[in-house]
Each structure stands twice: as structure tokens, then as C-alpha cells.
Amino acid sequence: MASSKRRRMLQAGRAGGALLAMGLTGCAALPQSTIDVAGPVARRQLELLNFTTWLMVVIGVLVALAVVYVMLRFRDRGQPGRPPQTRGHRGLQIAWTVIPILIVIYKAVPTVADAFYLAETPPNAMQVNVIGHQWWWEFQYPDLGITTANELHIPVGQPVDLRVSSVDVIHSFWVPRLAGKVDAIPGRSNKLWLQADQAEIFWGQCAELCGTAHAHMAFRVVAQPPDAYAAWTRRMQDLAAHPVTPADPVAARGQELFTGKAGCLGCHTIAGTRAAGKVGPNLTGLALRTTIGAAALDNTAENLSRWIHHPAEVKPGALMPKLPLTDAEIQQLVAYLRLQK
Ligand code: CUA
């Protein structure tokens, strides 16, 4: 009896220890952490957060100690009469006005300096237009003539000047490990710059409630070494200049469907083909992406088929309609789209 109780306590203790360890290491493993930064903008913001937090901790501890001191030092010891009164004490009045003003100034100096740092895009930045849609992201590279969706490719170590806007409602562009969020507002162009220190795929997320599929309005920032990034831009430009012409009859049938009966071209663009719809994501180079449906699924043939079969099941609220296509027709479309790379 006693030994089984002890065993249970030991087990509980071990489980608690494991949970604590997960809690302590969890932050580093999260792909959307603001305290595991990977670029100069996020780092400046984290430093300001740390500075402010420690300042508050110091002030909080000092105030708590002062309260304890006053409670002990001036407690009722049963003395007769009123204790000495301090109401209207000039020295105290000045002290508790001046000290908070000094604290606010002390905190304002790095805050204002950071605001200027963030507002000043470095002169060697490359430009990308970010456009929020319900519920996906469009990325335009005006200097390269490239338009893509949901995966923003950037070269490592290069500042990127983002102009953030929206075509429908207010969204918010957020890559926690690279920079703080900025609103995407219809009819406005908000600025944000960021830079990645290392080659990695960073997770991004719409951070403004924007309708049914808000939670599934994610994206990726693919930070690549400069040569890999240049290869990607060349490939994207090449796909537009020489669109894929499928040799395989299944994929060729898929292309006919895409630009014909299936009606995909009403919403989607594939550069260099008749498909020039602007409502949905540009699918040029679709097979180069790691995810589909704004990061709702990994980009595999199976998932692409599932997505075309049942968009609303994969992503409730998705504006992509369920098309009246046979299984064979969907397989033909998938075969064609898998060639977009
Ligand atoms: Cu877009 Cu939330």
C-alpha cells in the first residue's frame, strides 16, 4: 500500500519534471516565437522588450519592498493619539512626480530610437509588395516581374522593403522571428522592412481576425543563400517566358481542363498561358512551393488532389469552390500542376 503510493508520487513527480522541461525548452522549438529571433529587426524589438521588462521588474520589486517596509515600520504599536501626518508634504510630492517622469524618459529614449531605426529602410533593400486576400497572401517582386503566393523568397543577409496592403478586409502580416506585425489595410500601403540572418523557412501568420479562414491564412518566408535565391528568381522568370508544355497526355489533358472546362483560369494565373485570373493565388511555379492552401497542407500530389476535391473541408470558409469534376479529371489537373516547377 505504502510502496504503491510512493511509486505513484514518484511517477507524478517525473511527469511534472518532464512537463517543466518541455515548458522551459518549448519556446526555442516553436516556429513562431518572438523571443527566438533570426534577424536585425526582430532582434531590436526583442532588446526593447527585454529592457522594458527588466525595468518593470526592478521598479516592481522596489515598490513591493517599500510597501513591506512601510507596513512594518509604521504599524500600529498601540501608541496614543494620531501619528505624524504627511499630507501635502512638499518633498514627497516632488519626489513622486519627478521619479516617474525620469522613468518615462529613460524608457522613451531607446523606444524612440528604435522607432526611427524601424522606419528607416536600408538603402540597399529589395522591394516586395505584400497583398492580403481572404485568405492567402500575394507577393509581387516589381523589379523582377515575379508574382507568387504564400511563400516569400528572400536572400539571406539582404534587407527587404515590404509594402503591405490588402484587397478586401484588414489583415496583419507577421513573421514573428523576423519582425513585428504590420496591418494590411485596403487602399493603404504600410511599410515594413526585415532581414533574415540565416537560411531557413520561417513561419508567418495573418494576425488580424479577418473572417472564417483567418487561422488558415498562414505563409512561409523562405530565406535562401544568395545563389539559391537567384536560381529561384531565374526559374520563376523562365516559367513565365517558357510555360510548361506537358508531354505526358494526362498532364496535357489537365492543362486543357485548367484553361478550359474546369474554369480554373477564372481565378488563377499561370504566367505565359491563357489563365490570367486575379482572384485566387497565382499558380506559376506552384510545385516549387512547400505548402498549398496558404500553408493549410504540405504540397504533395495527394494533398493537392484532396484540396481540389474538398476545399471547404481542408480549409473551412475557403473561397475556392468545389468544382464538378470527376476523380480522373482532378488527377489530370494535379498532374499538370505538379509540372509547375
Ligand atoms: Cu487575414 Cu486574418
Q: pLDDT (tens digit, 9 = 90+) per residue, 291-324? A: 999 999 999 999 999 999 999 999 999 999 999 9
Q: What is the pLDDT of residues 45-101, one digit of tens each?
A: 999 999 999 999 999 999 999 999 999 998 988 888 888 888 889 999 999 999 999
Average pLDDT, the chain: 91
> How far apart, in whole angstroms, are the C-alpha atoms of residue 272 and residue 53?
53
In contact, 272 and 239? CB cutoff 8 Å: yes
Task: State in Å: Cα 253 to ligand 1 middle.
Answer: 35
Closest CA to 137 of 147, 145, 127: 147
Q: Whose CA is nearest to atom 1 of ligand 1?
A: 171
With a 6 Å cutoff on the Cβ, whether 206 touches ligand 1 is: yes
CA 158 to ligand 1 center in whole angstroms: 27
C-alpha 295 – ligand 1 centre gap (Å): 13
The CB-based long-range contact list for 20-25 (8 Å cut-off, 24+ gap) reads none
- Pairwise CA distance, residues 187 & 112, whole Å: 28
H/E run at residue 229: helix 226-241
Distance 214 CA to ligand 1 centre (A): 4
Strand order from edge to edge, sheet including 151-155: 151-155, 218-224, 200-206, 171-175, 179-184
**Is the predicted pLDDT of residue 27 greater than 80, yes or no?**
no
b/e map 55-72, b = 16+ CB within 10 Å: eeeeeeeeeeeeeeeeee
Q: Which residues contact 340 (CB under 8 A, 6 or more apart)?
A: 239, 244, 270, 283, 284, 285, 286, 287, 288
For the stretch 196-250, pLDDT in tens is: 999 999 999 999 999 999 999 999 999 999 999 999 999 999 999 999 999 999 9
Is residue 136 reached through a cis peptide bond, with omega within 30 degrees of 0 on the bond before it?
Answer: no
State the closest ligand 1 atom to the C-alpha of 184, by its place in the atom list counted from 1.
Answer: 1
